[in-house]
Amino acid sequence: MLLTFLNTYFLLSMPGGSEWILILLVVLLFFGGKKIPDLMRGIGRGVREFNDAKTNVKNEIEAGMNEKDKKEQDAELELKQAQERLLQAQAKVQQAQQAQQTQYQTELPK
């Protein structure tokens, strides 16, 4: 949208072949032949640092998401374990009640 705005109101667009040659000549005049390799090395370092920072941010975000997923999985596992313990306790209570009921029935006078 910004490019459309710039193109229509300021008649700006991407440079063509002759414009690139002119830009390269101006850069050569400003910096000279000996400083251009240093300039390119600096640009390369900047791009590399940017990519490293971008990768680090991406890894931190993924690590945070994985940590959140792991916490959710741990919570689900704890819930399942608690449910299993509850079912086991309920089964033991039922067994005890049945044993007590059979014992009570055998003790009744007939």
> What are the structural domain ranges in the chain?
2-107
Number of H helices, E strands in the chain: 2, 0
Q: Find the mean pLDDT for residues 54-82.
A: 91
Q: What is the pLDDT of residue 34?
A: 82
Asked if 91 and 84 count as a contact pair (C-beta separation under 8 A), the reply is no
What confidence tens digit (pLDDT) does each residue in 70-94 have?
A: 888 989 999 999 999 999 999 999 9
Quickly state the pLDDT bin for 56 (edges 50, 70, 90): very high
> To which residue do tokens 């667009």 refer?
13
Q: What is the pLDDT of residue 101?
A: 84
pLDDT at residue 16 tops 70: yes
